[in-house]
């Protein structure tokens, strides 16, 4: 399973089956190894977490760009 998780608040956005068709559709086959390491994280049960952004965080970012700086500060 690909599990989409918001990289800002950690909420699960959605799941997709881990098939070659889906991988191609998502463009994962075209990512460099480094990009895959950044975007994809393997979970303990063989699932792969995909970093994305949920709607509410996207809205928050659109409203306040400082949110970006805050995130960098926390990390
Ligand atoms: Zn979020």
What is the block-wise mean pLDDT of the chain (75 residues), using blocks of 10 residues? 94 94 88 91 93 92 70 54
37 vs 27: CA distance, rounded Å: 14
49 vs 75: CA distance, rounded Å: 19
C-beta neighbour count of 53 within 10 angstroms: 17
**Residue 30 alpha carbon to ligand 1 centre in Å:** 26
Identify the pLDDT of residue 47. Answer: 94
**Residue 73 alpha carbon to ligand 1 centre in Å:** 17
Quote the number of domains for the chain: 1
Identify the pLDDT of residue 73. Answer: 53
| Domain ranges, residue 51 | 2-74
Identify the pLDDT of residue 71. Answer: 59
Identify the pLDDT of residue 64. Answer: 75
């Amino acid at each position: 399973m690909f599990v989409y998780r918001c990289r800002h608040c950690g909420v699960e956005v959605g799941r997709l089956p881990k098939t070659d068709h889906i991988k191609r559709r998502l463009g994962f086959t075209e990512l460099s190894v480094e990009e895959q390491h950044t975007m994809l994280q393997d979970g303990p049960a063989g699932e792969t977490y995909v970093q994305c952004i949920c709607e509410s965080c996207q809205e928050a970012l659109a409203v306040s760009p400082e949110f970006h700086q805050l995130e960098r500060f926390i990390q």
